[in-house]
Copies of this chain bind each other. A is one copy, B any other.
Amino acid sequence: MAAVTVGILGATAYTGLELAKILARHPEAAIVFVSSRSYAGQKFSDQFGEVSGICDTELITPEEAVRKKVDCVFSCLPHAVSAELCLPFIEKGIRVIDLSADFRIKDPAVYKKWYGIDHPKPYLLEKAVFGLPEHYREQIKGAQIVANPGCYPTSILLPLLPLLKSSAIPINTIIADSKSGVSGAGRALKLSSHFVEAHENFSAYALGRVHRHIAEIDQELSLAAGESVEITFSPHLAPLNRGILSTIYFLTEASAGECYSVVKDYYNSEPFVRVRIADNLPAVRYVAYTNYCDIAFTGGGDGRPVIAVSAVDNLVKGASGQAVQNMNIMFGLNETAGLV
């Protein structure tokens, strides 16, 4: 069978490296190019020992990449740059899975509010599908542009969307207290990602209504609820390489058990969502290096908040694994191919 030919823009980001590793062992994908402006001309595996023997090709510039013939392009570039460099591929009709925020926000004004710049290609926003397969599978099948969700949003939306979509369980006053490993902050050199600053440390940042991921979280919660929802979101930096645990509080008339039932039913045939009982709470360790999102519900009673706990590997279900899941859907492959 002819493999899906793919290219990776920004291959030297942590998400790019993870993509390369997943795609290299994917039975029906063939990596045609890996691109990086800073490392162009060097052999991928000379710079990144983990892909030695796995993806030994030479890194090329984005300009050279455009001349390559591929079925699908993944972009691991930062926002704004990503839309710009994806454009030539989009114009050639190539399908694009963008891991940046550039195609996630439907409203250019909201994009500008949170990202501080005018959207480089606002007319493309309506073509893009939010790449959360459990909620947009049908649209993803035919999409040319898939906006791969952020890592925090994936961990927060998966437990909440089925509740908000269910008329039976109105919920409000949502607080998401999320804890992320350091790879979520990328490979860029900054003091907060320095080993000595992050190790044996635990810190909060961008609390309340500050973090950019709020834009897509609010958008998707509101779409599901059919009314405006605004989350309180508290990201934290935990001394892990990878993984996010989100502890999510919300007020509802329903019990934790009723929430469990709704969500368990909703994801019943999903290959990558595991809804667990309250005695068996999710933990980062169970999902690390996998494409699973684990979810459980507890708390509640006497007017106290119900508590959802979810866990994902930020580089897999929170980024590159979900991107490959989207590719599988877009190209009619087995949805779990390369991911189990």
Please tell me if the beta carbons of A182 and B203 are within 8 angstroms of each other in the complex: no
Assembled-state Cα–Cα distance A22/B12 (Å): 27
Contact with B along A81-123 (1 / 0, CB 8 A): 0000000000000000000000000000000000000000000
Please tell me which stretch of A141-149, A215-223, A288-296, A320-328 contacts chain B, meaning at least 4 of its Cβ atoms lie within 8 angstroms of it: A288-296
Contact with B along A199-228 (1 / 0, CB 8 A): 111111101110000000000000000000
A285 beta carbon closer than 8 Å to chain B:
yes
A340 beta carbon closer than 8 Å to chain B:
yes
A189 beta carbon closer than 8 Å to chain B:
yes
Please tell me if the beta carbons of B245 and A284 are within 8 angstroms of each other in the complex: no
Closest to A281 in B: B204
Assembled-state Cα–Cα distance A73/B173 (Å): 47
A1 beta carbon closer than 8 Å to chain B:
no
Please tell me if the beta carbons of A204 and B247 are within 8 angstroms of each other in the complex: yes
Please tell me which stretch of A28-36, A124-132, A161-169, A299-307 contacts chain B, meaning at least 4 of its Cβ atoms lie within 8 angstroms of it: A299-307
Please tell me if the beta carbons of A284 and B200 are within 8 angstroms of each other in the complex: yes
Specify which chain B residues have a CB less than 8 angstroms from the CB of A195 in the assembled complex. Answer: 182, 193-195, 197-199, 239, 241
Copies of chain A in the complex: 4
Please tell me if the beta carbons of A25 and B199 are within 8 angstroms of each other in the complex: no
Please tell me if the beta carbons of B305 and A201 are within 8 angstroms of each other in the complex: no
Q: Min CB distance, A114 to chain B, in Å?
A: 17
Assembled-state Cα–Cα distance A232/B239 (Å): 25
Tier of interface size on chain A: 35 or more
Specify which chain B residues have a CB less than 8 angstroms from the CB of A181 in the assembled complex. Answer: 196, 202
Assembled-state Cα–Cα distance A183/B177 (Å): 23
Please tell me if the beta carbons of B49 and A236 are within 8 angstroms of each other in the complex: no
Q: Which of B46, B49, B203, B249 contacts A245 (CB 8 A)?
A: B203
A59 beta carbon closer than 8 Å to chain B:
no
A271-292 contacts to B, CB under 8 A, are 271, 274, 276, 280-286, 288-290, 292
Q: Min CB distance, A56 to chain B, in Å?
A: 11
Q: Show 22 A/B contacts (Cβ-Cβ < 8 Å), sorted by A.
A: A14-B196, A49-B286, A52-B274, A52-B276, A52-B286, A53-B292, A179-B238, A187-B194, A187-B196, A195-B241, A200-B241, A200-B288, A203-B282, A203-B285, A204-B245, A207-B299, A208-B307, A209-B299, A209-B304, A238-B238, A239-B239, A289-B289
Apart from the given pairs A195-B195, A208-B301, A230-B302, 4 other A-B contacts in the complex at a CB distance below 8 Å: A193-B194, A194-B195, A200-B285, A202-B245
Q: Which 4 A-B residue pairs are closest in the complex by CB-CB distance?
A: A49-B286, A208-B299, A203-B283, A189-B189
